[in-house]
Every structure is written in C-alpha cells, then in structure tokens.
Amino acid sequence: MGKIAMPLVIILGALALFTPVAAAQEGPRDPVVYGLASFLIPGLGQYLNGEPDKALVHFLVAVAIPTVGYYMAVITLNPFLAYVTPLAQLGWSIYSALDAYNVAKEYNRAHGFSLLEFEFRLGS
C-alpha cells in the first residue's frame, strides 16, 4: 500500500499544479456542493473554486495528518495518537469543507448571484 500511496500523491499534486482550473465557472456556484466535495476529498472544493494552490495545501495536509499521526503512534508506542489521528483528519476535512463553502458563498455574493437565481438556473 505504501509503495502505491506516495506516487499517487505526487501525481495528484502535479495534476493540481499544472492542470488549468477549467472547473471554476463564471456563473453562480453551489456552496453546498463545493463544501461537500472538499469534505470528501480535502482540497477538491478549493480546486473547483479556482484556487489550485490552496487546494494542493489542503490535500497535502489531509495526506500528512494520518501519515505523521500513525507513524508517531508506532514510534512512540502511544496508542492515544492512533485514536486522535482520525479525529484530527475529521477536523481538517470539516475545516476544508467550511472554507470551500464560504469561498463559494462569497463568490456568489461578490458577483451578485442570489440563491433564487441559482435555483432558477438549475431548474431550467
């Protein structure tokens, strides 16, 4: 598993850096979708919001938390770290989701999109 994880992280990071952000749309954005995307895969909501640098940081922190947490639990033989690591990961996912949600919401407010206009465009 470890032999596959590191190349996968490097490939995903390179894709985030060198892929143009085509997903960032000009119209209204659904903050709930962007927040949920970033909760499931930290950094995805930021990427969809047109922030690839922030997306890469959120993704790498999401990878680093369990890597460092479980590594430290094994080295120090402290089972408490093995229980705290998933909570830290959950906390980071929640933070990433809230950040993506707030950025999408602020984008809509700054560009004059209302919730009613967004729902109307989705329905038609």
Q: Which residue in 123, 114, 98 sits closest to 28, CA to CA?
A: 114
Question: Comparing 15-24, 50-59, 75-84, 100-109, which segment has the lowest mean pLDDT?
Answer: 15-24
Domain ranges of the chain: 2-123
Confidence (pTM): 0.72
pLDDT higher than 80, residue 94:
yes
Tell me 41's DSSP state: S
Indicate if the alpha-carbon torsion angle 8, 9, 11, 12 is positive or negative. positive
Nearest residue to 113 via CA among 121, 43, 69: 121
pLDDT for 6: 59
